[in-house]
Amino acid sequence: MTQKVTLIATSPMGLEAVVAREIKQLGYEVEVENGKVIFEAPISAIPRCNLWLRTADRVKLCIGKFKVQTFDELFEATKALPWENFITETGQFPVSGKSHKSKLFSVSDCQAIVKKAIADRLQLKYGLASRLPETGALYEIEVSLLKDIATLTIDTSGAGLHKRGYRIGQGEAPLKETLAAALISLTNWHPNETLIDPFCGSGTIPIEAALIGQNIAPGFNREFASESWEMVKDKLWDEAFQEAEDLAKYDQPLNIIGSDIDHHMVDIAAKNATEAGLADLVSWKQMQVRDLTIKEDINGYLIGNPPYGQRISDEKEVAHMYQDLGQIMAQHPSWSVYILTAYDHFEKAYGQKATKKRKLFNGFIRTDYYQYFGKKA
């Protein structure tokens, strides 16, 4: 087995640079493409990246990349790859796929061909006369075709990296943990500064802020598909978990406040924080935005994902809420304000043009991240 592998950290559109920065902080050189960050690294990067990446969707192991225009080419090129270096004799290897702007547009046919090519290769290498048992560890393979270039990967993460393991309750439209972490990463907030989320819902932004503030690895309390892989030795996982434990700053004091108009959501947020092991690090309050009060002697950050008012019946109420927020924050020019919303008239309702605006996607909803930089004394 070679000492280095090619990994792909998949990213939501617009956040590739944030994911790339995280990977660089782990010590790896990167190449950024639309929706993904590619890098070569030792096998030890598989546990480290799964544990530490806050904003990536998944970490995939790239097995091969090649040009194909026929099914025969796809079969032969797939079979030529050293699958036995990655998948054990009993490994399960389901194949998913996608195709865009490629001659091989039938995804189901591509999946079947890749599956057969891998099975033929493994049967030959393991000396099996009958079909592979597929009773062991899971290796989820994807064949992705883009402009006739096929990329074959194995998912190392299992469940998406946004599933931290602490969410035991949520509202109707919860913010993904990875996007919440990205919203914080796009600010200059430091753990010694106050952070408020007045639209906390199930608590995702305050909880992610607490994890960042104390440098707690976001994947510390969950499992990953590659933990059961033979190629990623238990020793590497042990070392990665120990590194995460050693780097955590459990003594870092934090002043993080989450509030919401719905007392039920505030209760859920508090329970989620307890599940994350952060029960005493975030203060939770039930209140309306217009009741938000900020102490005069502190600077800080307000980060929120408020209701968007996508239903016509809600537009007026949402506009009033944004107006209330703008009037309150206008009295605190030293504070920085960051709001993610799909409401087109946000700046008008808020009463001030944003210093900077960034297009992001909250799921399939196109949103803008309005950024108001505080005038620090």
Whether the pLDDT of residue 41 is over 70: the answer is yes
What integer pLDDT is reported at residue 298 of this predicted model? 78
Whole-angstrom Cα distance, residue 315 to residue 347? 14
Q: Who contacts 372 (Cβ-Cβ below 8 Å, separation ≥6)? A: 329, 336, 337, 338, 352, 354, 355
The CATH number of the structural domain formed by 177-216+223-372 is 3.40.50.150
Query: DSSP alpha helices (H): ranges in 248-295?
Result: 263-275
pLDDT value for 310: 61
- Nearest-angstrom CA–CA distance, 353 and 256: 26
Average pLDDT over residues 68-95: 98
**Per-residue pLDDT at 13 exceeds 50:** yes
- Closest alpha carbon to 319 in 306, 336, 300: 306
Can you give the pLDDT at residue 260?
Answer: 96
Of 376 and 90, the structure prediction assigns the larger pLDDT to 90
What's the burial of 60, exposed, middle or buried (CB within 10 Å: 0-12/13-18/19+)?
buried
- How much is the average pLDDT of 196-208? 97
pLDDT on residue 64:
98
pLDDT digits (tens, 9 = 90+) for 210-251: 999 999 999 999 999 999 999 999 999 999 999 999 999 999
The tally of CA atoms less than 13 A away on the side-chain side of residue 102 is 25
> What was the pLDDT predicted at 377?
57
Mean pLDDT of the chain: 95
Residue 172 above 80 pLDDT? no
pLDDT at 311: 58
- How far is the first Cα of the chain from the last one, in angstroms, to the nearest whole number? 57
Place of tokens 């702007």: 101
Query: Given pLDDT bands bounded at 50, 70 and 90, which one contains residue 173?
Result: confident
State how beta strands 256-260 and 194-197 pair. parallel
Cross-sheet strand order for the sheet of 140-146: 31-33, 36-42, 4-10, 58-67, 149-155, 140-146, 95-100
Instruction: Write the single-letter amino acid at 308.
Output: Y
* 1 pLDDT more than 90: no
What residue spans define the domains of the chain?
4-155, 177-216+223-372
pLDDT digits (tens, 9 = 90+) for 137-161: 999 999 999 999 999 999 999 999 9
pTM of the model: 0.94
Question: What digits encode the pLDDT tens for the residues 89-140?
Answer: 999 999 999 999 999 999 999 999 999 999 999 999 999 988 899 999 999 9
Architecture of domain 4-155: 2-Layer Sandwich (3.30)
pLDDT at 170: 84
Question: pLDDT by residue (tens digit) across 333-351?
Answer: 999 999 999 999 999 999 9
Q: What is the pLDDT of residue 315?
A: 83
Q: What is the pLDDT of residues 281-326, one digit of tens each?
A: 999 999 999 999 998 667 899 999 998 876 545 788 999 999 999 9
Q: Which residues lie below 8 Å from residue 127, measured CB to CB, with a gap of 6+?
A: none
